[in-house]
Amino acid sequence: MGFFKDFKSFLLKGDIVSLATAVVIGGAFNKIVGSAVADIIMPVVGILTGGTDFTQKFIALDGGEYATLAAAQEAGAAVMTYGNLIQAIINFIIVGLFIFVVLKAYEKSKKKEEAAAPAPTGPTQEELLSEIRDLLKKQNS
């Protein structure tokens, strides 16, 4: 029974629960970012690059000429799809930008919360001096 008890305590540690929560939220955030990249940003990039679909960029390693990636794959040619790498790099940069913007906004909101929070108040100077005076009176008597 000791193994299962230890395993249960391991699973219920705060760090594990926090990590699991972060993974789930990260997965959901990934879908949002993926949609923003595929549905909003890449069409704009496509327009800026003259309608280029990077995922269709390839080099046929057999030396043949193929009109499309699908045609090369259908012919059984070995292909190097360098366009997928370009697409992945663009996605990485955009995801990094998205995360940067979200974290900057989060930090900015935290600073506003900290600035809005009242400063902790302590005893006034008069109260402190009164306490010192009272302590000195007790010591002298």
Structurally, the chain folds into a number of domains equal to: 1
Is the Cα dihedral 121, 126, 132, 134 positive or negative? negative
Rounded to 10°, the helix 82-116/14-35 angle is 120
Domain encompassing residue 26 = 2-118
Per-residue pLDDT reduced to its tens digit, 108-138: 988 877 777 676 777 888 888 888 888 888 8
Task: Show the beta-strand stretches assigned E in 9-129.
Answer: 59-60, 79-80
Within a domain: 132: no
pLDDT of residue 1: 63
pLDDT of residue 78: 93
Within a domain: 140: no
Within a domain: 138: no
Q: Please report, for residues 52, 65, 80, 128, the alpha-carbon distance to residue 44 in angstroms, rounded to integers and kept in the order given.
A: 11, 29, 26, 66
pLDDT mean over 19-41: 85
Within a domain: 139: no
pLDDT of residue 34: 80
Residue 79 has pLDDT above 90, yes or no: yes
Within a domain: 133: no
Q: Please report, for residues 21, 35, 82, the alpha-carbon distance to residue 87 in angstroms, rounded to integers and kept in the order given.
A: 29, 14, 9
Within a domain: 32: yes
pTM of the model: 0.55
Per-residue pLDDT reduced to its tens digit, 36-66: 878 888 788 778 888 777 888 899 999 889 9
Per-residue pLDDT reduced to its tens digit, 82-100: 988 988 888 788 878 888 9
Within a domain: 125: no
